[in-house]
Structure 1
Amino acid sequence: MKHFAVIGNPIAHSLSPVMHTAAIEALQLDADYTRVKLEIDQFDLEIRRFLASEIDGFNVTVPFKEKIIPYLDQIDPFAAKCGAVNTVKRSDTGWTGYNTDGYGFLEGLEEKRPLSIDDRILIIGAGGASKGIYLALSEKCEAPITVTNRTLEKAEQMLAAERSDRAISLEEAEARLAEFTIIIQTTSVGLDQTHFDLPLSLESLKKDTLVADIIYNPLKTPFLQAAEQKQAIIQNGLAMFVNQGALALSIWTGENPNRAIMKQAVLNSF
């Protein structure tokens, strides 16, 4: 029997076990998938113990996507560029780290419409998830990408040297919002459902702009609600969540899981 898991802290809220269990059952695999909470201040001890267990592969969520890297034997080139790992696989040569977040997001975005060189893309935020999304987009699409972040220096550090992409302040992004055809919200603003906060004002948002938020719970963040009121095309983070999970399961098993089954399992859990 194969054993898979997701590690993080906190982890009780994670819907990965629900999603992966549905995929595993549909594929009729002899495997299970669990949550494992590792203590932040005891990470060195607990991750070594975890890697020495019978685990065959695992996902990594906050705050361990960067911390896990020194404990791995190999890093996939894309994950190395991201500086973050969300999927780990055991093989005969040891532990290998991958990052499926960026490609998972890209798959979901293209469910809405194909990307074009004529697009103008704005990424809001410069955290771990945004780097993978930026790199996946820059590989796939020649359209210019602009990154905005509260700390401008962090946005500048994210940019690929071989491209002519730009980093701008939140104030400039608000002023130029009508120029963008795709806007991607990657910050944690919107997770707290008791506050109607936005990472930036959507006052200048143009109709039919494709607006995505990587948060999937709630399914419609205040950011997406505001975009919808401006008649934008909106997408929540569920597609990214499902696709990154499906890519991870493919890495572990070589199988192509049914994404529709995985998505429905997540929706049924709300």
Structure 2
Amino acid sequence: MADSTAAKAAVLGDPVAHSLSPILHTAGYEALSLAAWSYEAIRCPEGALAGIVGSAEDEYRGFSVTMPGKPEALAFADEVTERARLVDSANTLVRTGAGWLADCTDIDGAFAALSAHEDLPPSPTIVLLGAGGTARPFIAAIARIPGASIIIATRRPTAGGALECAARFGVEARDVRLTDPELPALIESTDLVVNTIPETGALELTELVRPAARLVDALYHPWPTPLGAAVLAGGGKVVGGDTMLLGQALGQFELFTEEAAPAEAMRLALRNALEERSSR
């Protein structure tokens, strides 16, 4: 259990000023009356993570890690969880008696987003758009769905790492190009589309994705995203990346504080923050 000793956590990234993690974690501290805890955002350019974490004061119990630091967090850690090793990515560093433990709560967030589609049929086929760093946690999360299979769609033949990740988790997967003439029919007939492509690339895919019955978009601002708006207009159901963001933060909160995360308080804080951003 967390004690009354002053404790800190922070999010590391570059850029990092836009991060909603301080709002989420601070809301959790307030809900549980963890007055000794504080959470901040620290700019961490590429190559700087080891220096920042290695020199962190003892009060720091953990770090949330965004890009470009996720590969560096994995390499820096004294210990790595099995799931972080399998996805080759770490978004979480937790101080332990033996040093720093690297974990990937992005998998928890991805599974929360998938699970939000409560009507997903058994043994679903899932089209995964993109094969980068966000795709691998989704692959790990999909592996928790019995009988699920994945079609990984990429612009170029770069899905090798994602296919290897799927194989490590024992998930049936194959890849196609985004320009493949079979892809529109696959999207129309598939059970779920998951988008991990950044906004600039996703803009070009709105008509391709419009017929999807269900969409999880890792993006969440502005909302609805271009893909989300297209699927909603086509009569489909959409879950946004805010669900993934909350899910990974809940996991981090519990790792840092050793307390059960107050999910509703953190969800409300996230919703209010996103509404405020949308009104600007």
Superposition TM-score, scaled by structure 2 size: 0.86
Q: Say whether the 8 Å CA contact 1:190–1:222 is kept in structure 2.
A: no
Match of 2:14 among 9, 27, 33: 9
Match of 1:63 in 2: 68
Q: Secondary structure of 1:97's partner?
A: strand
Matches within 5 A, 1:26-41: 26-29=31-34, 30-40=36-46
Q: 1:144 & 1:245 partners in 2: Cα distance?
A: 27
**Amino acid in structure 1 at the alignment position of 2:140:** L
CA distance in 2: counterparts of 1:198 and 1:153, whole angstroms: 19
User: Do the aligned partners of 1:219 and 1:238 also contact (CA within 8 Å) in 2?
Assistant: no
Structure 2 residues without counterparts, runs of 5 or longer: 1-5
CA offsets 1:22-46 (integer angstroms, 9 cap, x no match): 0111011121110011232544544
Following superposition, the deviation at residue 204 of structure 1 comes to: 6.5
- Between the aligned residues of both structures, percent identity stands at 25
Specify whether residues 44 and 23 from structure 1 end up closer, same or farther in structure 2 by C-alpha distance, changes over 3 A only.
Answer: closer
Report the more deviating stretch, 255-264 or 105-114: 105-114
Q: 1:160 aligns to what?
A: 167
Equivalent residues in 2 for 1:168-247 (5 A)? 168-172=176-180, 173-189=183-199, 197-199=203-205, 201-202=207-208, 205-206=211-212, 209-247=213-251
CA distance in 1, matches of 2:209, 2:112: 28
Measure how far apart 1:150 and its partner are. 1.6
Q: Superposition pairs for residues 247-258 of structure 1, below 5 Å?
A: 247-258=251-262
Out of 93, 107, 114, which is 1:102 matched to?
107
Aligned residue number for residue 141 of structure 1: 146
Of 259, 262, 267, the residue aligned with 1:263 is 267
Aligned mates of 1:219, 1:127 — CA distance in 2: 22
Contact 1:115 1:141 in 2 (8 A): no
**What pairs up with 1:68-83 in 2 under 5 angstroms?**
68-83=73-88
Aligned residues between the structures:
263
Residue identity in the other structure for 2:167:
A
Residues 239-262 of structure 1: per-residue CA shift (max 9 Å, x gap): 111111001111122222222211
SS of the aligned residue for 2:250 comes to: helix
In structure 2, relative to structure 1, the CA distance for the partners of 1:203 and 1:6 (3 Å cut) is closer
- SS of the residue 2:69 aligns to: coil
Aligned-residue Cα RMSD (Å) equals 2.1
Contact map agreement 2:150 2:171 (CA 8 A) in 1 = no
User: Normalising to structure 1: TM-score of the pair?
Assistant: 0.89
Secondary structure of residue in 2 paired with 1:171:
coil
User: 2:124 pairs with 119, 125, 128, which one?
Assistant: 119
Looking at structure 1, the residues matched to 217 and 176 of structure 2 have their Cα atoms a distance apart, in angstroms, of 19
